[in-house]
Amino acid sequence: MTSPSVSAVERDPAYGWLMVFVVFTLSGLSFGALGAISVFLKPLALEFGWGRAETSLGYTTIAFSSALFGVFWGYVADRWGSRWFGVVAALTMSFSLFMLSSLTSLFQFYAFYFLFGAFGNAMASTPLFANVGFWFRHNPGLALGITASGGAIGQGIIPYLVGIAITSNGWQWAYQAMAISYLVIALPIAFLVRESPRREIARLAPEKEVRHFSLSEKEVVIWMSFAVMFCCNCMSVPIVHLVPMLTDASRSLEFATSVLLVLMLAGGAGRIFGGKLGDVIGALPTYIIMSVGQTFSVFWFPHIDSATGLYLLAVFFGFTYSGVMSSILVCVRMMVSARFSARAMSITSFFGWGGMGLGGFFGGLFYDINGDYNWSFAFATFMGLMNLVILTMFFMRIKGQRLDASPQFA
């Protein structure tokens, strides 16, 4: 009898690709609701007389609640698994959106988005990304890139549909339609979530698994957290303020949301490409390359008037910013152990969500101060440059540590 081939023994479980589909969809819905805040921003400000900074704090609220509770859910996932995370997230997202359809105060606006972030987005994203990453030994970057592309595609399609709904029937009806759609789509597939065999083994094993990376897990998380905080400040400004910026310039809401749609669809491709490139040249070099593109392109949004130019810029920024997102996930997947992965991704995401929330708020604050978005996008560019400085230092730290560990290179 012939023994099974090595490739057959090492083949990744087919269920891993079903998990990719499930988390792709759940994160697409979750991130889509975040992107839709930019479409609700002006109708709500007009309805209730809120300022841009006040309304932008809705995005900040969901970002910070995702950050705070994401760390908690990361610890829960590493200790007990993430089997029911999708179900809780599906129910919470639908409930929060339905309650937002009848809001009457700024406090309610913040409270329901806080709930969405804490028990919806925080459970549907980072812990499940960590789960997906360890279903795959071969090309984990590609699998994570495809999974993460759901968030980009959701942030394009859902705001576009929300824009149509608001134009047709108003913001209340748009929230109700989202709530019903999320429940119908998310709840059935949420029951398909399973923990990866590798994470199950690592979670129950009495000893830590052997790692082959030159820096400790704690140091990796520290470096990544600082870098992510700045790069998310950069990317959140156009995510939150691109639609209101374009409508301020007398563009139609349909055109503005179509630019965001193009940006996010390009982002879907960018996340897949960024994940695969991480498998080929390494996750950190990919992160640096994509960050250069994001930082260079974000500055130009307030300075381009032509529709063609805006679409082209949206494609380039969307592709590179989303490559950044998948590179972050692949960096953490490759640099930490399976046993620590959900916590590592959650802690890193804590700083990322903090950066997203601050970037969205400061984008609105600079608008309120200056009456335009020039300083908002200049701020985003500066944050991108700070991210690149930290990533370069991180890269040199890893390189130096490897040389110190290899006397033949001394």
- pLDDT tens digit sequence for 232-291: 999 999 988 998 899 999 899 889 989 988 998 898 899 889 988 988 999 899 999 999
**pTM to 2 decimal places:** 0.77
Q: Distance from CA of residue 300 to its chain's centroid?
A: 22
Write down the mean pLDDT value for the chain: 88
Contacts of 4 (CB under 8 A, 6+ apart): none
Instruction: Write down all domains in the chain, each with its CATH number in brackets.
Output: 13-202+213-403 (1.20.1250.20)
Which residues does 388 contact at the CB level (< 8 Å), separation at least 6? 288, 291, 292, 295
Give the per-residue pLDDT at 211.
66
Question: How far apart are the C-alpha atoms of 326 and 274, rounded to whole Å?
Answer: 6
What pLDDT sits at residue 205? 66
Is 143 in contact with 269 (CB distance < 8 Å)?
A: no
Distance of CA 104 to the CA centre of its chain: 29
Q: For residues 60 and 277, give the distance between their C-alpha atoms in angstroms, rounded to a whole number.
A: 31
Give the side-chain half-sphere CA count within 13 A for 178: 40
For residues 202 and 340, give the distance between their C-alpha atoms in angstroms, rounded to a whole number: 9
Residue ranges for the chain with pLDDT beneath 70: 1-10, 205-211, 402-410
Tokens representing 330?
Answer: 């692949």
User: What is the structure's pLDDT at 403?
Assistant: 56
- The whole-angstrom distance between residue 302's C-alpha and the CA centroid of its chain comes to 24
Token pair belonging to 301:
């949004």
What would the pLDDT profile of 162-173 be if each residue is shown by its tens digit? 999 999 999 999
**Residue type (1 letter), 370:** N
Tokens 């040199």, residue located: 396
- Would you list the DSSP string of 176-238? HHHHHHHHHHHHHHHTT----HHHHHHHH-SSPPP---SS-HHHHHHHHHHHHHHHHHHHHHH
